[in-house]
């Protein structure tokens, strides 16, 4: 973990996607070792670090967010362009080995993908029963309360008790 590159993105509420008012999205480029870029091994690593409810798939091609859970996306195959923070957010190119930790409320949408784009997604222990929201009318104010009340993860999904998430997300 020493010297890991971590990029932070903080998004404002855009009226459609609430985003998170205090926690930045964390992007760890090329942080997942090549030998962990296998879905079952990656799921095991996440479970060892207290992140569960793991699944293997892609990212939905529409803007969505979770108001009841934080989420990690570990890219284990291919590449994609994902817009974070809603339609006016930031488009980031991800590829196998990249990891993105998404705070509750932050929108994400796959714009394009190739090369067998595959991610392993997971949630902090106790947050596996997440919701899926798209900014529909009537979601607020309930989702804003949900986002505010989501507990902080106890561990970093890749590095456990010593990871950058614990330093960058004040507890």
Could you tell me the residue ranges of all domains in the chain? 7-158
Torsion of CA 16, 20, 22, 26, to 10 degrees: -130
Residue 154's closest CA among 143, 145, 163?
163
| Residue 121 host element (H or E) | strand 108-124
pLDDT at 1: 53
Instruction: Could you please state the CATH topology (level 3) that the domain comprising 7-158 is classified under.
Output: Jelly Rolls (2.60.120)
pLDDT at 3: 72
pLDDT at 170: 80
pLDDT by residue for the chain (171 residues), tens digit each?
557 899 999 999 999 999 999 999 999 999 999 999 999 999 999 999 999 999 999 999 999 999 999 999 999 999 999 999 999 999 999 999 999 999 999 999 999 999 999 999 999 999 999 999 999 999 999 999 999 999 999 999 999 999 999 999 986
In this structure, are residues 74 and 32 in contact, taking their beta carbons and an 8 Å threshold?
yes
pLDDT at 2: 56
In this structure, are residues 136 and 93 in contact, taking their beta carbons and an 8 Å threshold?
no
């Amino acid at each position: 973990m020493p010297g890991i590159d971590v990029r932070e993105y903080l998004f404002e509420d855009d009226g459609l996607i609430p985003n998170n008012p205090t926690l930045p999205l964390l992007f760890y480029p090329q942080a997942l070792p090549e030998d962990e870029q296998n879905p079952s091994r990656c799921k095991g690593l996440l479970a060892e670090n207290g992140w569960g409810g793991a699944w293997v798939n892609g990212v939905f091609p529409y803007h969505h967010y979770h108001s009841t859970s934080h989420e990690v996306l570990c890219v284990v195959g291919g590449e994609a362009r994902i817009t974070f923070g809603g339609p006016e957010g930031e488009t980031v190119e991800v590829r196998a080995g990249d990891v993105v930790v998404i705070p509750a409320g932050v929108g994400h949408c796959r714009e394009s993908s190739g090369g067998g784009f595959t991610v392993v997604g997971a949630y902090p222990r106790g947050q596996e029963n997440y919701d899926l929201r798209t900014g529909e009318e009537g979601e607020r104010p309930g989702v804003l309360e949900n986002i505010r009340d989501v507990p902080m993860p106890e561990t970093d999904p890749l590095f456990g008790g010593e990871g950058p998430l614990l330093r960058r997300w004040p507890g």
